[in-house]
Amino acid sequence: MFVRRIAVVGTGYVGLTTGACLASLGHRVVCADVDEAKVDRLSRGEVDILEPGLADLVSGGLASGRLSFVVGASAAVADAEVVFLCVPTPMGVGGIADLQAVESVVDETRDLLPSGCVIVNKSTVPVGTAVRTAELLRRDDVAVVSNPEFLREGSAVHDFLNPDRIVVGCDQQDAAERVAALYARLGAPTVLTDAASAELVKYAANCFLAMKLSYVNAVAELCERLGANITDVTEGMGYDKRIGQSFLSPGPGWGGSCLPKDTHAMLQAADAADFEFRLLRATIDTNERQRTRMVEKVRLAVTGKRGGSLSHVRLGLLGLTFKAGTDDLRDSPALAVAALLKQAGAELVGYDPALAGGTDLGSVSVVDDAYQAAKDVDALVVLTEWPDFRSLDWARLAETVRQPVVVDTRNILDPDVIRRAGFTCTSLGRP
């Protein structure tokens, strides 16, 4: 394997995982960030991100000398053969991805890039970004490649080192092959295509997953109306290899740092192309409705009637991050439901295994354990699928609450265990 000199600009989930993993594969990697304090911490092996295995990879890379951290993109690219852009591309006005960070790095490094270098867009970017990047570079001797990431928070290191596929897009075959070769040791299927197709792959994949989640939430509601059991329905569906088992768990809606912005960006791109993407729009609308539906389930469970008042009702929320295994709160469906509950007049206290008590979340008072969250509440509401909640002492919780009511919006609890502890239990799509 050829050892490459690689620069990674940005040390968020994608950038830090990319840099640490590429260093573990034997490449020499310099990671850059604008935050001096963060660079100092990373240089000491201190990783702020809750991501299994990442801290060990960073420490190993530092010890081997293959991984280092610097302040600013300019300091990282001087002798780089490949430069990965892993900067934020948040949702901008109208739903389109905001590319200011990408363009800023290109402006900063344009005259510093070595001849023959390859720029790689790793961030999720709209179709046409590779062309736009090349136009901004104004460098015929620097190729631009699209190499989308497919990392899940909570398993990013595993996903990088055990990929389902590697997608590389560029109109220059040599540049595409050079980037693909960086991953050669992983032995994954590789798709070499044009830049536009590579850029669209990421959006198309994430939008499909969002559709699958919205679909199963709709089926769960239908199960409730027809007296069917969503657990059995999805099990029967999942054995079909054309469908698969993943993304068939009902919940309070999808969120996080990717699906919301990617679905809106894809919808905006469709609108710009004069294509009415009704299926995707329905996917987004269904997700918004799901959050309201969770509030109505809480109303019914607490008051015994639809539309019952939640004014001055005290609720204990179990789980606040957007999913288990991460401390990320960005576009968390748990917080979206919490905001609606607060708007309805409820008093909220919450616990999450990844958050310290006293964390400022505005409408939710965050405490240090589930038993504190249960003290004198009218109902417990499970909003994130942390497995820790299954092993709680539910009999003890029953003695702590004001009303023994549980609304499990993730279907992670065993209803029989909960009921034996003295609770009434409401879940999704179950009789």
pLDDT of 88-110, one tens digit each? 988 887 777 889 999 999 999 99
What integer pLDDT is reported at residue 1 of this predicted model? 54
Asked if 84 contacts 29 with a C-beta cutoff of 8 angstroms, the reply is: no
Same domain flag for 167 and 256 = no
Residues in the chain predicted with pLDDT less than 70, given as ranges, are 1-2
What integer pLDDT is reported at residue 27 of this predicted model? 96
User: Catalytic amino acids?
Assistant: 258
Same domain flag for 66 and 199 = no
Asked if 337 contacts 294 with a C-beta cutoff of 8 angstroms, the reply is: yes
Same domain flag for 209 and 322 = yes
For residue 305, say whether it is annotated as part of any ligand binding site: no
For residue 261, say whether it is annotated as part of any ligand binding site: yes
Same domain flag for 252 and 266 = yes
For residue 152, say whether it is annotated as part of any ligand binding site: yes
For residue 391, say whether it is annotated as part of any ligand binding site: no
For residue 250, say whether it is annotated as part of any ligand binding site: yes
Same domain flag for 188 and 275 = no
Domain count, the chain: 2
- What CATH number is associated with residue 178? 3.40.50.720
What integer pLDDT is reported at residue 214 of this predicted model? 98
Same domain flag for 158 and 267 = no
What integer pLDDT is reported at residue 408 of this predicted model? 98
Same domain flag for 87 and 226 = no
What integer pLDDT is reported at residue 91 of this predicted model? 82
Domain span at residue 40 reads 5-193
Half-sphere exposure of 115 (CA within 13 A, CB side): 2
Same domain flag for 172 and 299 = no
* CA-only gyration radius of the chain, Å: 24
Q: What is the pTM of this model?
A: 0.93
What integer pLDDT is reported at residue 4 of this predicted model? 87
Please report, as a single letter, which amino acid is at residue 27: H
For residue 150, say whether it is annotated as part of any ligand binding site: yes
**What are the angstrom distances between the C-alpha of 337 and each of 12, 34, 102, 376, 430?**
27, 34, 33, 21, 20
Q: What are phi and psi of 32, to 5 degrees?
A: -120, 145
What integer pLDDT is reported at residue 159 of this predicted model? 97
Same domain flag for 66 and 112 = yes
Q: Is 409 helix (H, G, I), strand (E, B) or coil?
A: coil
What integer pLDDT is reported at residue 2 of this predicted model? 67
For residue 124, say whether it is annotated as part of any ligand binding site: yes
What are residue 33's DSSP bridge partners?
Answer: 71
Q: What does the alpha-carbon distance between residue 219 and residue 158 come to, in Å, rounded to a whole number?
A: 31
What integer pLDDT is reported at residue 307 of this predicted model? 84
Q: What does the alpha-carbon distance between residue 183 and residue 291 come to, in Å, rounded to a whole number?
A: 40
